[in-house]
């Protein structure tokens, strides 16, 4: 019997505002515990929340970027539950009337096909504090610095059909919120987290199965593993006569399994009601139009432009537009390389991204600037150095030894294009290898590569490969 997975994601993106959503306390990460929670965040009696306009702007920006409706009127509600890291006893969230509704985003599947994923809603809410279980023997510490940090919860339709699709969608949203500069996307610090809702059904069935919600998955790789584990677990359970129960599960990365955490609360358990301390949020057209003007070129549009303007493949263009910073870097390289778009793409995606990955760095930490890399590419196209020698120049630039020209001079890497000098090396090589010359001349064409190799070696890689080929052919063939 064939099974199909059904997945919907709830993504929590921490909005990159400087202060909290309902107070003026700082949102900086990493401060001493409990130094950034003010009376409002602590829910002390007599305080009133004041909505942060910047958070509203960021939510609206997201809404516009996914073609959603930005609600003229949305309402903050209290979601009541008791937990040590929630001092008020309720979380302020949006429930029936969220700020963003009915959006969509397109993802590209491994097969190359495009798929549209519906975004049910995105609503504003405050984050809770953090329970620290590890640092205190036999006790739990509470750090309320995070309490009141603005979150945008982005809820997808159950449109995803595999773990791989879910991760592709998650990466797409991750890239989008960073393009929009509304979230730093740092998954380790918890600025971008996701809960995965997973169910399975028999292929062709039109009703969804019962879902489990997996909490706390903080890397793309773990999201994929957790979903795959969960799909298998549910299929095995049903096939052996059991039933999936609706519950919240936790992913344990060490054991690579999901475990039951608690049975799922129903919405009524939270006793949602409109927060009497906050007026409904009313947004006018002028505000939305103002936000629209701040939208940058979005990833899809940028990718299409890269294909069109730079003649790149769709794959190359996707890689180079994964982040705004990388795209910017690439465009600066092309400019400095006088329009050599394809060669620039090869160097950025090959050598540069390779070296950065090895050291776990991102493009903003590249020791080689775009001007520098573009300058080096110019020296390849004007034949000062060969592509092979360029790798040495690249390494020297990476080590901080200066621009391409300085490195080429200091290390004497300039390509030999003097026909006389190359001819002399070729004559030497021919003289030193009479046997091979004999074999080549009696028809063993494959030996040509051997001669090229010898000449390049003699010249320390600096002879112009094109000239070496031409001259060698002449000398070997004309005897």
Is the CB of 41 or the CB of 125 nearer to Mg ion? 125
Residue 98 touching ligand ADP (CB under 6 A): no
For residue 79, the minimal CB distance to Mg ion (Å) is 11
* Three-state DSSP class for residue 308: helix
Site for ligand ADP in 213-242 (CB under 6 A): 213
Residue 172 touching ligand ADP (CB under 6 A): no
Give CA–CA dist 259/238, Å, rounded.
17
- On the 0-12 / 13-18 / 19+ scale of CB atoms within 10 A, 429 is buried
Which of the listed partners (ligand ADP, Mg ion, none) does 158 bind, with a CB threshold of 5 to 8 Å by partner kind?
A: ligand ADP
Give CA–CA dist 224/229, Å, rounded.
9
CA separation, residue 11 to residues 199, 209, 218, 386 (Å):
18, 22, 11, 48
User: What is the β-pairing status of strands 150-156 and 192-202?
Assistant: unpaired
Residue 274 touching ligand ADP (CB under 6 A): no
Is the CB of 269 or the CB of 309 nearer to ligand ADP? 269
Residue 208: count of CB within 10 angstroms of its CB: 13
Is the CB of 165 or the CB of 195 nearer to Mg ion? 195
Residue 158 touching ligand ADP (CB under 6 A): yes
Q: Which residue number is nearest to Mg ion in terms of Cβ?
A: 10
Which string of x and - marks every residue 184-203 that binds ligand ADP (by CB under 6 A)?
A: -------------xxx----
Residue 252 touching ligand ADP (CB under 6 A): no
Give CA–CA dist 283/53, Å, rounded.
11
Residue 156 touching ligand ADP (CB under 6 A): yes
Q: Which residue number is nearest to ligand ADP in terms of Cβ?
A: 8
Is the CB of 11 or the CB of 291 nearer to Mg ion? 11
Which of the listed partners (Mg ion, ligand ADP, none) does 465 bind, with a CB threshold of 5 to 8 Å by partner kind?
A: none
Is the CB of 133 or the CB of 207 nearer to ligand ADP? 207
Among 298, 296, 394, 314, residue whose Cα is nearest residue 348:
394
Give CA–CA dist 308/298, Å, rounded.
15
From 99, 107, 124, 155, residue interacting with ligand ADP (rule: CB under 6 A): 155
Give CA–CA dist 10/193, Å, rounded.
9
Q: Are 153 and 10 in contact (CB under 8 A)?
A: yes
Residue 141 touching ligand ADP (CB under 6 A): no
Give CA–CA dist 313/335, Å, rounded.
19
Which string of x and - marks every residue 395-424 that binds ligand ADP (by CB under 6 A)?
A: ------------------------------
Is the CB of 11 or the CB of 182 nearer to ligand ADP? 11
Which string of x and - marks every residue 6-25 that binds ligand ADP (by CB under 6 A)?
A: xxxxx---------------
* Three-state DSSP class for residue 139: coil
Q: Are 21 and 124 in contact (CB under 8 A)?
A: yes
Q: Give the residues lining the site for ligand ADP (CB under 6 A).
A: 6-10, 155-158, 197-199, 208-209, 211, 213
């Amino acid at each position: 019997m064939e099974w199909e997975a059904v997945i919907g994601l709830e993504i929590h993106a921490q909005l990159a505002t400087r202060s909290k959503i309902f107070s003026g306390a700082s949102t900086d990460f990493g401060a001493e515990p409990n130094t950034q929670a003010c009376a409002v965040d602590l829910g002390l009696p007599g305080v009133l929340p004041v909505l942060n306009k910047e958070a509203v702007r960021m939510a609206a920006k997201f809404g516009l970027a996914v073609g959603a409706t930005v609600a003229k009127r949305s309402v903050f509600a209290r979601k009541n539950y008791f937990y040590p890291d929630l001092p008020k006893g309720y979380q302020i969230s949006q429930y029936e009337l969220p700020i963003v509704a009915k959006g969509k985003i397109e993802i590209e599947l491994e097969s190359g096909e495009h798929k549209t994923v519906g975004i049910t809603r995105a609503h504003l809410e405050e984050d809770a504090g953090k329970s620290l279980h590890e640092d205190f023997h036999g006790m739990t510490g509470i750090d309320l610095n995070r309490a009141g940090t603005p979150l945008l919860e982005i809820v997808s339709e159950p449109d995803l059909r595999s773990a791989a699709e879910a991760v592709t969608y998650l990466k797409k949203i991750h890239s989008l919120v960073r393009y929009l500069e509304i979230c730093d996307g740092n998954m380790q610090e918890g600025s971008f987290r996701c809960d995965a809702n997973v169910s399975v059904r028999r292929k062709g069935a039109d009703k969804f199965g019962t879902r489990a919600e997996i909490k706390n998955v903080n890397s793309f790789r773990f999201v994929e593993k957790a979903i795959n584990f969960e799909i298998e677990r549910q299929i095995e359970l049903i096939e052996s006569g059991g039933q999936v129960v609706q519950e919240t599960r936790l992913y344990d990365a060490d054991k690579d399994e999901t475990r039951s955490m608690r049975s799922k609360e129903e919405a009524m358990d939270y006793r949602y009601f409109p927060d009497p301390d906050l007026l409904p949020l009313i947004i006018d057209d002028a505000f939305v139009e103002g936000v629209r003007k701040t939208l940058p070129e979005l990833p899809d549009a940028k990718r299409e432009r890269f294909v069109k303007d730079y003649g790149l493949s769709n794959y190359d263009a996707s890689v180079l537009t994964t982040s705004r910073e990388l795209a910017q870097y690439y465009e600066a390289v092309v400019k400095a390389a006088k329009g050599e778009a394809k060669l620039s793409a090869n160097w950025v995606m090959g050598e540069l991204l390779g070296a950065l990955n090895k050291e776990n760095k991102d493009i903003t930490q590249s020791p080689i600037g775009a001007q520098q890399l573009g300058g080096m590419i110019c020296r390849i196209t004007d034949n000062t150095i060969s592509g092979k020698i360029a790798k040495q120049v690249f390494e020297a630039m990476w080590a901080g030894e200066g621009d391409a020209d300085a490195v080429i001079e200091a290390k004497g890497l300039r390509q030999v294009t003097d026909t006389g000098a190359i001819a002399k090396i070729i004559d030497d090589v021919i003289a030193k290898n009479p046997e091979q010359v004999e074999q080549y001349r009696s028809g063993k064409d494959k030996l040509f590569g051997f001669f090229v190799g010898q000449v390049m070696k003699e010249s320390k890689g600096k002879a112009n490969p094109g000239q070496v080929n031409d001259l060698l052919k002449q000398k070997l063939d004309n005897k």
